Structure 1
């Protein structure tokens, strides 16, 4: 009879312990939600209030997941990518080369692609009228050297070269 009472008390104590542990976990969950963002750092600083994820460090970086894309128009190997999903592509295949890509609606978009701008080392396969240096709005185009303006192509098609204004075609000797 004593054994049965001891077993009942032990089961009761175990039940109370389980309830307390579950209650403790539920409180810690509410505490995590109240913080707003997640901070990963070595200083113990809280996350910046404008960020869901705040990663900081002075000697290490963030490693973006690497995948081998097959095409910019195929989500594979990622399943159902969310808009703005960031990856590092390791493959050279079809229209993808190694580099950072992000997903928009139905395609991968390359970030910092060498084909998105003019290169200091020169460009190939350019088409006059399609590929150009200049602007597409109604603003002057300015060239500088040592932060001093040396040439300005004005919106009225006039050219100013270090103070000289040329309003007609002019051959500079």
Structure 2
């Protein structure tokens, strides 16, 4: 006679009075609904989310309907545009799938970035907006326009890349590079580099006058710094000088004559005509026989290509004199009320 023995296996899941579940432990953490950790700290396994193939961020499939809070791992790249899905972890917000970004930008800075893949901005046709104190200060439109103080391109700004709307408040743009000056206009060189420059119609007079120098008749052709100078922004400038020629002893004699040259030097110690002078390097004048005064008057063109403000020093010399000329010309280059140097933008 055969006997049949039936053996019952009972699987028990540990439940405590608060209904916590421990999958690998009989002592689950009381703050967790589900505890997957070994109580002895030897956990070597991870949580594997359901591996699914999503088709769109707006399509709930493979769920039959959107379920808020559902987490899955998408295994494929599918679709295009704003609804495209790529491999990674997604959660459902009740209307669609949201990818959990693991490579988000950090407030403390980022390292190992690659400009081909890492950037701050948008991947759709939506503007990028910057706020402070919860007020919009700046936005970059989807077409690449930079808007400051406005959320829309104003009339006439269709082709503008930078738009600043400061309302009725003056001073929307401030550019300080050392070339600025009162009533200056903004100009550019052939490369589009902008600098400030006095308008061509405006004439300024030099305020940096020295007390003048006494030019001796001998030696001839020796340059002297007059103590006066001009400081020019980058660009071309027409410089005009009008100077009084007068002997310290009064009238020139019946056969006495002087011929005086003046110009501008890059230095007030090593005196030579500046290479920046591109037209008419000398401004000259004469004192003739039996005269109390003579006049030196003329203009020269200086092109400052240094890229910043540059000072030019007014120099003078006696180039020729009659054999009867004696003494010196008094206070030349700024010592007389009649003396002046004027500046006018030439381009």
Normalised by the length of structure 2, the TM-score is: 0.27
Q: Identify, as 1 or 2, the structure richer in helix.
A: 1
Q: Which has the higher contact order (CA 8 A, sep 6+)?
A: 2
Q: Identify, as 1 or 2, the structure richer in strand.
A: 2
Give the greater-gyration-radius structure (CA). 2
